[in-house]
A and B are shown apart, each in its own frame.
Chain A
Amino acid sequence: MKNFLTLLGLRGRLAAMAIVFGALAIVAGDPYTGAHASVDTRQLALDVFEEKDHTSTEQLAGWIIEGRNDFRLLDVRTEQEYAAYHIPGAELVTIAGLAEYPLRRNEKIVLYSEEGIHAAQAWFLLRAKEFSGTTILRGGLEGWKATILFPRLPDGAGAEEKAAFERKKLVSAFFGGSASVGGTASATPSVEMPKLAMPVPKSPAAQQSGAKKKKEGC
């Protein structure tokens, strides 16, 4: 064996090495990590504990009003629910389709579902895949309705609360909702969703699907 190797010379040995590694590649499997991921459980737990995993509805509303497009808003509900109403600029993604969905790991991603369970599950899947800028919309779509679309000023509110409510009224009007004064919170769910003409900021997905070439590579 040793004689054989010295006979080959340096170039022959390099060629032999390439063939060996190339042949082993056939049985080595897929180089893409595919569906498998590993999770830093301590980091995830810490992020949840410090509430870094949430975006508040007020924050999100602010971003949309400002017309910011440096974040992706993902709706992980069903198609019917999405068609009935979705937050302006939201993209419909199923949890099963999340792995193939064109997202970048350095993007700020906000997830929401009806109440938050599906969003939380999607959050975990994305975090496991190192999408570290992923957050959940606090309260889900229910929270969005309660705080942004249909804010309610409780009876006997203080002056400060009233001042804040004036601002909420404007925000609510922007998104086509309506604010109301007094009454009990239990009356809220009966409110009909308005048919919204959405003040959509340019969505990043729409930009991507265009024929614009990426400025990368040589």
Chain B
Amino acid sequence: MTAPFFKFGYFSEDIGLVLAIVIGIGFGFFLEQAGFGSGRKLAAQFYFTDMTVLKVMFTAIVTAMLGVFWLGVAGVLDLSLVYVSPTYLWPQIAGGLVLGAGFVIGGYCPGTSCVAVSTGKADALVYLGGILAGIFVFGELFPAIEEFYISSAYGTLTLPEVFHLPYGVVVFAVVVMAIGAFAAAEWGERKMAQKKENKT
């Protein structure tokens, strides 16, 4: 059997939806366990007092990347069937900035706000309402911004293609980068904690 299972038709769309719920609950559970159900903790990332978000994200990236790479090499996973979002450079930069601003202001990203709602956080409920309102406004405005929305399309890009490097080299570089970021984050956290102590 070769993955991705759905693309090879091992199960139907209905089963796929059931599996999506199971995987989604698992995803939410681990986000909550990482402390991502708290807006304070998430916002602290942007003040560099708590680098948990960065550490959890890099851990997830490295784990998933190594898993996908080695399963691909082993022939268990057909990477050509794994979906890669196409790049629309400028619209995605703009979208990233909007999302980032919302993240700092509200203390959540869309996924973590759902996690926080599930544990009964009132601020997250307001945030979720904001998301829905934003989706509605976006939908209504769409004809006006459609041209920008589909501009600077580069198709599906991957780092090995962009840098003309072998996949393995990029994998190693990302691992090194992640561990470097981890070390820097812990060092930064200690510095910030010291500063706080000196103040009090």
Interface residues in chain A, defined as those with a beta carbon under 8 Å from any beta carbon in chain B? 15, 18-19, 21-23, 25-33, 105-106, 130, 132, 211, 213-214, 216-217
Question: How far, in whole Å, are A64 and B66 apart by their CA atoms in the complex?
Answer: 46
- The distance from the CB of B169 to the nearest CB of chain A, in whole angstroms, is 6
Q: How far is the CA of A106 from the CA of B6 in the complex (A)?
A: 10
- Contact-residue bracket for chain B: 20 to 34
Are A26 and B81 in touch, CB under 8 angstroms? no
CA distance in complex: A27, B85 (Å): 27
Q: Mark the stretch among B39-47, B72-80, B121-129 that contacts chain A.
A: B72-80
Q: Closest CB of chain A to B68's CB: distance in Å?
A: 7
Q: A25-B167, A25-B168, A26-B166 are in contact. Are A32 and B175 (CB under 8 A)?
A: no
- A178 to B181 Cα, complex, angstroms: 73
Given A18-B178, A22-B62, 4 additional A-B pairs, CB 8 A: A19-B175, A21-B70, A33-B75, A105-B7
A22 touches B175 (CB 8 A): yes
In the complex, are the beta carbons of A31 and B179 less than 8 A apart? Answer: no
Which residues on B sit within 8 Å (CB–CB) of A217? 83, 85
Give B residues with C-beta under 8 Å from A. Answer: 2, 7-9, 62, 66, 68-70, 72-73, 75, 78-81, 83, 85-86, 150, 153, 166-169, 171-172, 174-176, 178-179, 182
Assembled-state Cα–Cα distance A73/B156 (Å): 25
> Is B182 in contact with A29, judged by CB distance below 8 angstroms?
no
| Given known A-B contacts A15-B182, A33-B78, A216-B83, A28 and B73 have beta carbons under 8 A apart | yes
Decide if the interface of chain A is mainly helix, strand, loop or mixed: loop
**Would A22 and B171 count as touching, CB distance under 8 A?**
yes
Measured in the bound complex, the distance between the Cα atoms of B178 and A73 in whole Å is 46
The distance from the CB of B50 to the nearest CB of chain A, in whole angstroms, is 17
User: When the two chains form the complex, which single residue of B62, B78, B168 contacts A18, counting CB atoms closer than 8 Å?
Assistant: B62
- Mind listing 25 A-B residue pairs with CB under 8 Å? A15-B182, A18-B179, A21-B66, A22-B171, A22-B176, A25-B66, A25-B167, A25-B168, A25-B169, A26-B169, A26-B172, A28-B70, A28-B168, A29-B168, A30-B73, A30-B166, A31-B68, A31-B69, A31-B70, A31-B79, A33-B79, A105-B8, A106-B9, A132-B9, A216-B83
**In the complex the two chains form, what is the Cα distance from A214 to B84 in whole Å?**
10
The 3 closest A-B pairs by CB, nearest first: A31-B72, A22-B175, A25-B168
Question: In whole angstroms, what is the CA distance A213 to B153 when docked?
Answer: 11
| Distance to closest chain A CB from B121 (angstroms) | 22
> Given the complex, which residues of A lie within 8 Å of B78, measured CB to CB?
33, 130
